[in-house]
Structure 1
């Protein structure tokens, strides 16, 4: 059987706030939560679990593949809210998107400081 990505725990300073942010941005579905986890479900049944870890955590990088219409909605949400964003991971092109890999992409920080990348075309 080929491996399939099932779930990840995203370290959060405020799990409920993080889940709300991701639910709006990714148009994710609510999922049953348990224990320390606030859960959402995205495409192909992937579960995003938000929890506060017992120690400080370094920022991580999470990239999400969106269709063009979803990217337009997400980018409108980013700009309408005044959220800082960049066309590149080095943050040298603020307020822009990129047109890499035959699509579009944007980078931003989530409420807990993780790097998010939204793209419309996969790298491979």
Structure 2
């Protein structure tokens, strides 16, 4: 028996992103990436990445939030706009994950990339080419 919802490969569907203010954090990231914040789903506020994956922001006000890393493969034609939105938001971006080269982007793997922090200290990355893995 075949189910129309059966998939042939493992796919990431969603992940929870802890935030002190789920609305502010979701709107920040959605604004930088040129996306929209979805309607609340229970305690979650989703940002739909357009690839069948959502980042579901979950408010966690009473505990420290441990920084996580989220990397987004973005279209090359939209990269400059994202950098411009970071600059307009007054958010420093960096060429490297350790944030030692402010105001610069990288050209790794024949593409472009940058790192920045969201309002909760998560280390976000935008890149136009996926990493080449051995």
TM-score of the superposed pair, with normalisation by structure 2: 0.85
SS at match of 1:44: coil
Q: 1:45 offset after TM fit, Å?
A: 1.5
1:86 is the counterpart of 2:94? yes
The answer as to whether partners of 2:94 and 2:114 remain within 8 angstroms in 1 is yes
- C-alpha root-mean-square deviation of aligned residues, in Å? 1.4
1:3 is the counterpart of 2:2? no
- Which sits farther off after the overlay, 112-121 or 51-60? 51-60
Q: 1:52 offset after TM fit, Å?
A: 1.5
- Which sits farther off after the overlay, 7-16 or 54-63? 54-63
List runs of 5+ in structure 2 lacking aligned partners: 1-7
Determine the C-alpha separation between the residues in 2 that align with 1:25 and 1:39.
15
Q: 1:96 offset after TM fit, Å?
A: 0.5
Match of 1:107 among 99, 103, 115: 115
Match of 1:61 among 52, 57, 69: 69
TM-score of the superposed pair, with normalisation by structure 1: 0.92
Rg larger in structure = 2
